[in-house]
């Protein structure tokens, strides 16, 4: 009864609040956001402007009364990590009804891959190569988050990285700029929805601008050195896609870029973002990144940090007070000017007007009914299923028959509800997770599942339960081992020097392989791990990432052939940390390696005469190829590629060429295939990559049937930055259509 009365009161309060807002006098410029912004800006004091440029976590506001007073005084424009219907409505009422100008607050929170319905980590979603299901996943995330008053999320994270040691690889879309750009667009569109004034629309934030994923040695927050051609041809492309998709905000990064910290970098923030791209959204710093420029050695104190960040174009300071404490003096000393302040506030107010916060700053309690809706969970299952990549399937070990007698289920990730959610999950709950063990018991019946955990967590090195595992394996028809890493081993600040499967997992897998029973390994992890030994010892291997709330059912769907796996790797898998960085679109060398010149280290004679003749570019102990190439992924059927066709063998820089191939499902199951288009510019004014992804298409093909897959390649698609200009250069090009970056049908064309 008490909870019912609380609900009635909450609804009544919101109704009154909405009525009050509706009755407030409207500006003469109502309905014209730019004029509304200018009208409001003209009325603001300098303190109120600096308040809009300041964001704080309520936990650092000095207590509840101090926080409320600061809102009344207009000292904050945004809060992060404040959520909940009653809480947000209460603080918005103070901002709208009790502050001088009634400017609503912008409430932000990290909603990286789900709010309560948790989807696979973004790297896992990228393995689906399916922008449509990703767009819908982020739309669901926003609907759930907005129900708690969150109207701004610090996503998508679209940093390109070539280093799987970097913990935040989990949050991104992998190594390739074309794939990441396609998914960045989908993520922004999903977060913001079709109508920004819809109460479920949330402002997206493209982060981290720029170069954060290139941190040296994969150590988080570390230095980055990125030549301008690499910056423009690779790193910035997903951000440009996000800007073009209408992302309302950008976030400046922690790292320094070529000696200049990103939060004080005028080249990226002013020249590229504002001047070249004409970006009209708002830029926020990362947490404390303004004052961290002192640690970088770029600023002597907070005053100088504020000066450089404001001058560079960081409009709002996240979790810091350097702006509010120093901007007045900086103005007096002419180290910044009033136009810089006004521009920053314009961008901030524009976001609030665009989101409709001035018309409706409050949260409708009815929106809470959307959380964990059955169709949301169904979509989480679908995304997790399409994210799974089949990396090995000897002798058609998979799919398993649902008539199998029994299975031995073991491994530290088999029943670990929190770990399967992955990193950067603030609001998802372990009790909502459906684990693989739970799903398998539901599918087969508990009596057919022989569960022995074996290792209590991923880093466990104890062999005490090995014999019990082996006994369970011998008494079962197949072994399902759920390997990987705990959620805490990836994400921000969680860099690893070695990226092997931790603990005694590989040791236990090797012992289980000796039983002769079919051994299926499912890897649940936040990064691409060095799984060479695991691949060797398993009969089949699925890479399921940290798959979110519905990981278990998605994995069961694949294991038992309800669906055929269709995921493809969004990142190259290396053999070990010593092979990093290794990415498929690397430039060639003067001495490229090939099979003919690769001699394993244990085959090298003891007497090796000193000579450079015949030496090539490879590691003696790793060879010249990665463990698994970018774009790789198997299916329960087989696809044959034939009949590559080009509409023309030449094109102009302003023209186009159509490239097609026939893909035949030559196996015994209907399935999806992700068909990939790659090109190579053979000669350029700077050296060009050996391959570049320029298109992909996910097609469903019935067994025995064929599909013609066609791509259109425009001259603009072949543009690159050569250190001076963006150019489309004439010459000869290679083109491939195939299943991954290592295989495909080859053709040629020229640009006249």
pLDDT at 635: 98
pLDDT at 277: 98
The answer to whether residue 701 is domain-embedded is yes
pLDDT at 599: 64
Q: In the structure, what pLDDT confidence band is assigned to residue 33 with cuts at 50, 70 and 90?
A: confident
Which domain-ending residue is among 544, 559, 574?
A: 559
The answer to whether residue 568 is domain-embedded is no
The answer to whether residue 598 is domain-embedded is no
Q: Of 163, 286, 354, 506, which one is the catalytic site residue?
A: 286
My answer on whether 552 and 651 are in the same domain is no
Q: Is the pLDDT of residue 32 over 80?
A: no
Among candidate residues 237, 228, 225, 93, the one with its CA nearest the CA of residue 159: 237
- Return the H-helix or E-strand segment holding 211: none
Poorest-confidence range of 65-69, 479-483, 560-564, 603-607?
603-607
Which domain-ending residue is among 542, 559, 576?
A: 559
My answer on whether 397 and 500 are in the same domain is yes
Percent of the residues in the chain that have a pLDDT greater than 70, as a whole number: 93
My answer on whether 542 and 657 are in the same domain is no
Q: Is the pLDDT of residue 206 over 70?
A: yes
My answer on whether 647 and 544 are in the same domain is no
Which domain-ending residue is among 498, 524, 559?
A: 559
| 541: helix, strand or coil | strand
Structure token pair of residue 513: 């392989």
My answer on whether 387 and 531 are in the same domain is yes
My answer on whether 536 and 395 are in the same domain is yes
pLDDT at 29: 40
Q: Is the pLDDT of residue 590 over 80?
A: yes
pLDDT at 722: 97
Query: What are the helix (H) ranges across 248-364?
Result: 266, 292-296, 302-312, 322-332, 338-354
The answer to whether residue 413 is domain-embedded is yes
pLDDT at 6: 42
- Give the CATH number for residue 444: 3.40.50.1700
**239 touches 158 (CB < 8 A):** yes
Q: In the structure, what pLDDT confidence band is assigned to residue 593 with cuts at 50, 70 and 90?
A: confident
Q: How far is CA 703 from CA 490, 644, 667, 670, 737, in A?
A: 39, 21, 6, 5, 21
pLDDT at 26: 40
My answer on whether 385 and 533 are in the same domain is yes
| Averaged pLDDT score across all residues of the chain | 94
Active site residue 557: no
Average pLDDT over residues 720-736: 97
My answer on whether 526 and 663 are in the same domain is no
State the Cα–Cα distance between residues 90 and 318, nearest whole angstrom. 22
My answer on whether 553 and 644 are in the same domain is no
Q: In the structure, what pLDDT confidence band is assigned to residue 598 with cuts at 50, 70 and 90?
A: low
State the Cα–Cα distance between residues 304 and 336, nearest whole angstrom. 11
- pTM here? 0.94
Among candidate residues 241, 316, 246, the one with its CA nearest the CA of residue 280: 246
pLDDT at 360: 96
Q: Can you give the residue range of the structural domain that contains 479?
A: 380-559
Q: What is the pLDDT of residues 251-287, one digit of tens each?
A: 999 999 999 999 999 999 999 999 999 999 999 999 9
My answer on whether 543 and 415 are in the same domain is yes
pLDDT at 610: 59
Q: In the structure, what pLDDT confidence band is assigned to residue 380 with cuts at 50, 70 and 90?
A: very high
- Give the CATH number for residue 683: 2.60.40.10
The answer to whether residue 53 is domain-embedded is no
Q: In the structure, what pLDDT confidence band is assigned to residue 9 with cuts at 50, 70 and 90?
A: very low
Q: What is the pLDDT of residues 449-493, one digit of tens each?
A: 999 999 999 999 999 999 999 999 999 999 999 999 999 999 999
Average pLDDT over residues 15-31: 43
pLDDT at 615: 78
Q: In the structure, what pLDDT confidence band is assigned to residue 4 with cuts at 50, 70 and 90?
A: very low
pLDDT at 75: 97
pLDDT at 617: 87
**616 touches 723 (CB < 8 A):** no
Burial 624-651 (b: 16+ CB within 10 A, else e): ebbbbbbbbbbbbbebebeebebeeeeb
The answer to whether residue 178 is domain-embedded is no
Average pLDDT over residues 184-203: 98
The answer to whether residue 273 is domain-embedded is no
The answer to whether residue 512 is domain-embedded is yes
My answer on whether 539 and 672 are in the same domain is no
Q: What is the pLDDT of residues 609-618, one digit of tens each?
A: 556 666 788 8
Average pLDDT over residues 51-79: 95
pLDDT at 472: 98
My answer on whether 538 and 686 are in the same domain is no
Q: What is the pLDDT of residues 154-187, one digit of tens each?
A: 999 999 999 999 999 999 999 999 999 999 999 9
The domain total for the chain is 2
Q: Is the pLDDT of residue 1 over 70?
A: no
pLDDT at 597: 63
Q: What is the pLDDT of residues 316-372, one digit of tens each?
A: 999 999 999 999 999 999 999 999 999 999 999 999 999 999 999 999 999 999 999
Among candidate residues 406, 494, 16, 416, the one with its CA nearest the CA of residue 220: 494
């Amino acid at each position: 009864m008490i909870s019912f009365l609380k609900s009635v009161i909450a609804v009544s309060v919101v109704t009154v609040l909405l009525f009050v807002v509706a009755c407030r006098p409207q500006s003469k410029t109502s309905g014209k956001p730019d004029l509304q912004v200018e009208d409001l800006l003209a009325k603001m004091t300098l303190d109120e402007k600096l308040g809009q440029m300041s964001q704080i976590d309520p936990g650092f506001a000095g207590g509840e009364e101090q926080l409320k007073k600061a809102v009344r005084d207009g000292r904050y424009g945004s809060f992060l990590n404040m959520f909940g219907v009653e809480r947000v409505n209460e603080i918005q009422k103070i901002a709208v009804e009790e502050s001088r100008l009634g400017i609503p607050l912008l409430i932000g929170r990290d909603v990286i891959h789900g709010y309560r319905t948790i989807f696979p980590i973004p790297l896992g979603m990228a393995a689906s190569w399916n922008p449509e299901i990703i767009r819908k996943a982020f739309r669901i995330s926003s609907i759930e988050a907005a129900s708690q008053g969150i109207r701004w999320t610090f996503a998508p994270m679209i940093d390109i990285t070539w280093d799987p040691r970097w913990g935040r690889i989990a949050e991104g879309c992998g190594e390739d700029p074309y794939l990441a750009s396609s998914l960045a667009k989908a993520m922004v569109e999903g977060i913001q929805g079709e109508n920004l004034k819809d109460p479920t629309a949330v402002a997206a934030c493209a982060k981290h601008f720029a170069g954060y994923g290139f941190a040296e040695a994969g150590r988080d927050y570390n230095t980055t050195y990125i030549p301008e051609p690499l910056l423009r041809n690779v790193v910035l492309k997903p951000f440009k896609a996000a800007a073009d998709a209408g992302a309302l905000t950008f976030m400046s990064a922690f790292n320094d870029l070529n000696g200049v910290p990103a939060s004080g970098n005028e080249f990226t923030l002013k020249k590229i973002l504002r001047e070249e791209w004409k970006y009209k959204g708002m830029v926020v710093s990362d947490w404390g990144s303004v004052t961290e420029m002192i640690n970088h050695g770029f600023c002597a104190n907070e005053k100088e940090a504020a000066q450089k960040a404001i001058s560079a174009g960081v409009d709002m300071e996240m979790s810091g007070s350097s702006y509010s404490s120093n901007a007045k003096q900086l103005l007096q000393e002419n180290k910044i000017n009033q136009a810089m302040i006004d521009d920053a506030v314009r961008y901030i107010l524009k976001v609030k007007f665009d989101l409709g916060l001035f018309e409706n700053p409050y949260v409708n309690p009815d929106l809470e009914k959307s959380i964990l809706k059955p169709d949301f969970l169904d979509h989480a299952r679908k995304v997790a299923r399409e994210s799974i990549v089949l990396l090995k399937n000897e002798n058609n070990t998979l799919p398993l028959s649902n008539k199998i007698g029994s299975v031995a289920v073991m491994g530290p990730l088999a029943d670990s509800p929190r770990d399967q959610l992955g990193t950067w999950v603030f609001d998802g709950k372990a009790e909502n997770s459906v684990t693989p063990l739970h799903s398998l018991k539901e599918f087969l019946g508990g009596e057919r599942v022989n569960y022995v955990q074996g290792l209590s967590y991923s880093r466990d090195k104890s062999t005490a339960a090995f014999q019990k595992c082996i006994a369970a394996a011998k008494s079962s028809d197949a072994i399902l081992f759920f390997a990987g890493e705990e959620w805490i081993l990836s994400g921000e600040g969680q860099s690893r020097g070695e990226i092997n499967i931790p603990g005694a997992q590989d040791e236990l897998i090797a012992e289980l392989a000796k039983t002769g029973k079919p051994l299926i390994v499912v890897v649940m992890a936040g990064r691409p791990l060095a799984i060479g030994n695991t691949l060797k010892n398993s009969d089949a291997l699925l890479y399921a990432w940290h798959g979110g709330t519905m990981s278990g059912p998605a994995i069961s769907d694949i294991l038992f052939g309800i669906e055929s796996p269709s995921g493809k790797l969004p990142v190259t898998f290396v053999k070990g940390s010593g092979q990093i960085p290794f990415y498929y679109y690397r430039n060639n060398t003067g001495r490229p390696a090939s099979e003919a010149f690769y001699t394993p280290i244990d085959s090298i004679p003891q007497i090796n005469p000193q000579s450079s003749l015949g030496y090539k570019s490879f590691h003696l102990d790793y060879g010249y190829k990665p463990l698994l190439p970018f774009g790789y992924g198997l299916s329960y059927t087989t696809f044959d590629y034939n009949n590559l066709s080009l509409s023309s063998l030449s094109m102009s820089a302003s023209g186009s060429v159509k490239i097609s191939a026939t893909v035949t499902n030559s196996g015994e199951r209907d399935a999806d295939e992700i068909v990939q288009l790659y090109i190579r510019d053979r000669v350029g004014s700077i050296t060009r990559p050996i391959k570049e992804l320029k298109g992909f298409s996910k097609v469903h093909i019935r067994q025995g049937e064929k599909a013609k897959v066609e791509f259109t390649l425009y001259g603009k698609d072949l543009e690159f930055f050569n250190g001076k200009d963006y150019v489309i250069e004439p010459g000869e090009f290679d083109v491939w259509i195939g299943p991954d970056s290592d295989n495909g049908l080859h053709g040629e064309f020229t640009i006249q």
